[in-house]
Amino acid sequence: MNLNQIINLLMRLFGRRLLNGAIFRGIELAARKGKPAEQMTEAERRAAGTMRQAVKRVQDAMRITRRF
């Protein structure tokens, strides 16, 4: 492996982690509708949990369909 390949490998690795972290934070923000957990009512907390579960199911389905 030359230096250029190593640099590209590391850039892809860190870029993927950065992107996945940003996506996760965006999903959490959307689920909570921009509110901190302390300001949410019990019903809003349940709705946010339901939304997180739905997103997880969609992500799992996307991973499965990529294999085919």
Per-residue pLDDT of 46-56, as tens digits, reads 888 898 899 88
Averaged pLDDT of the chain: 89
Q: Which residue has the tokens 């019990």?
A: 42
C-alpha count within 13 angstroms, C-beta hemisphere, residue 64: 6
Q: Where are the domains of the chain?
A: 3-66
Q: Which residues contact 25 (CB under 8 A, 6 or more apart)?
A: none
At 27 the pLDDT is 83
Cβ contact 1:10 at 8 Å: no
pLDDT, tens digit (0-9, with 9 covering 90-100), for 4-14: 999 999 999 99
Q: Is the pTM of this model over 0.75?
A: no
